[in-house]
Amino acid sequence: MIFKNLLLPGSKWALAFLLLFCSILGAVDYPKPTAYVNDYAGILTPETKNQIEGWAIELKQKTDVELAIAVMPDIGGRDENSYAVDLWKSWKIGNARDEGVLILVAVAERRIKIEVGYGSEAYLTDAYSGDVFRNMRELLPKGAEQWDQALMQGSLMLLDRIAKEKGIQLSGFPTYNQSNNNVKNSPIPFIVMAIIFVFLVIVTKGKILEVLLWAIILGGGRGGGGSWGGGNSGGGGFGGFGGFGGGRSGGGGAGGGF
């Protein structure tokens, strides 16, 4: 009887069957995580992967906050934002307070997404996630990608912020020099530079402008977000990956192309 109803135009059974069929076709089979750092594209060295993994394990045990990394060879041409949200749900990243963060890298699409859990949005803000993304992007020029350095830089920035928020230290964790950021937060250097600039323009009768223009054109250097001091491998004496805790993402974070 039901089979006959499937053949009738406008039948509710036909509509239900169609919706079920479409949902099956649209289902994405996400890979199962085997660690906090999951490199499905095979772009990271074992040393980099193990070092970040050790810190992620220690972070989980000391704070219950989860750092997850997913390096995908491709995401099927999908948008990195929706893929990150769906992957988060599939893996159940985060703890009971929804604290966690995911770094998603899609190699073929050349996209990155920093996805932040609801409970971590207060200290892993969109602005800070944007800084993490931009620092990673600078290390990934097309044809000369520094994959290890980019993932290490992004992980260090996130781990550093979480550790400071929770008041803990990670074993062998390098120190971060934020001197550049401190300068940015103070208006005094800009005022002094402005006074000097105006003085030079007056003294040189505007010729300094031409010199500065050529310096900008020929310079072409890229600024950084600070530098990391020496550290050594972390995570010593801690247990391994035991699965994620089942948190929710808040849709916050940052990302884009590289």
- Reported as a single tens digit per residue, the pLDDT across 85-116 is 999 999 999 999 999 999 999 999 999 999 99
Indicate whether 84 and 55 sit together in one domain.
yes
Indicate whether 42 and 67 sit together in one domain.
yes
Indicate whether 147 and 197 sit together in one domain.
no
Percent of the chain with pLDDT over 90: 58
Task: Kindly state whether residue 81 falls inside one of the protein's structural domains.
Answer: yes
Q: Work out the average pLDDT over 169-173.
A: 94
Q: Which residues pair with 114 in a beta bridge?
A: 103, 254
H-run or E-run covering 250 = strand 249-257
Task: Kindly state whether residue 88 falls inside one of the protein's structural domains.
Answer: yes
Please report which confidence band the pLDDT of residue 244 belongs to, taking 50, 70 and 90 as the band edges.
Answer: confident
Indicate whether 74 and 138 sit together in one domain.
yes
Indicate whether 55 and 80 sit together in one domain.
yes
- Reported as a single tens digit per residue, the pLDDT across 145-167 is 999 999 999 999 999 999 999 99
Indicate whether 170 and 203 sit together in one domain.
no
**pLDDT computed for residue 196 by the predictor:** 77
**pLDDT computed for residue 235 by the predictor:** 43
**pLDDT computed for residue 220 by the predictor:** 43
Rounded distance, CA 38 to CA 34, Å? 7
Task: Kindly state whether residue 57 falls inside one of the protein's structural domains.
Answer: yes
Task: Kindly state whether residue 59 falls inside one of the protein's structural domains.
Answer: yes
Looking at per-residue pLDDT, the higher value among 222 and 136 belongs to 136
**208-233 b/e with 16+ CB inside 10 Å = b?**
eeeeeeeeeeeeeeeeebbeeeeeee
**pLDDT computed for residue 207 by the predictor:** 65
Indicate whether 173 and 207 sit together in one domain.
no
Task: Kindly state whether residue 155 falls inside one of the protein's structural domains.
Answer: yes
Decide if 93 contacts 102 (C-beta within 8 A): yes
Please report which confidence band the pLDDT of residue 175 belongs to, taking 50, 70 and 90 as the band edges.
Answer: confident
Decide if 20 contacts 31 (C-beta within 8 A): no
Indicate whether 199 and 74 sit together in one domain.
no
Task: Kindly state whether residue 73 falls inside one of the protein's structural domains.
Answer: yes
Rounded distance, CA 234 to CA 256, Å? 30
Task: Kindly state whether residue 58 falls inside one of the protein's structural domains.
Answer: yes
- DSSP-derived pairing of the beta strands 227-228 and 176-177: antiparallel
Q: Residue 20 pLDDT more than 70?
A: no
Indicate whether 85 and 200 sit together in one domain.
no
Indicate whether 50 and 174 sit together in one domain.
yes
Task: Kindly state whether residue 158 falls inside one of the protein's structural domains.
Answer: yes
Indicate whether 136 and 61 sit together in one domain.
yes
Assign 255 to helix, strand or coil.
strand
**pLDDT computed for residue 234 by the predictor:** 46
Take residue 82 and report the two structure tokens written for it: 């929706």
**pLDDT computed for residue 195 by the predictor:** 76
Instruction: Sheet containing 66-72: give its strands across.
Output: 37-39, 66-72, 100-106, 111-117, 249-257
Residue 171's Cβ-count burial label (10 Å; 0-12, 13-18, 19+) is middle
**pLDDT computed for residue 227 by the predictor:** 52
Q: Residue 132 pLDDT more than 50?
A: yes
Residue indicated by tokens 């085997």: 34
Indicate whether 135 and 195 sit together in one domain.
no
Q: How many domains does the chain have?
A: 2
Please report which confidence band the pLDDT of residue 56 belongs to, taking 50, 70 and 90 as the band edges.
Answer: very high
Across the chain, which distance is largest between two alpha carbons, in Å? 95
Structural domain of 119: 37-178+253-257
For residue 119, the domain's CATH number is 3.10.310.50
**pLDDT computed for residue 237 by the predictor:** 46
- Angle in degrees, CA 47, 102, 135, rounded to 5: 70
Q: Residue 33 pLDDT more than 60?
A: yes
**pLDDT computed for residue 238 by the predictor:** 45
Task: Of 16-25, 129-138, 164-173, 222-231, give the lowest mean pLDDT range.
Answer: 16-25
**pLDDT computed for residue 24 by the predictor:** 42
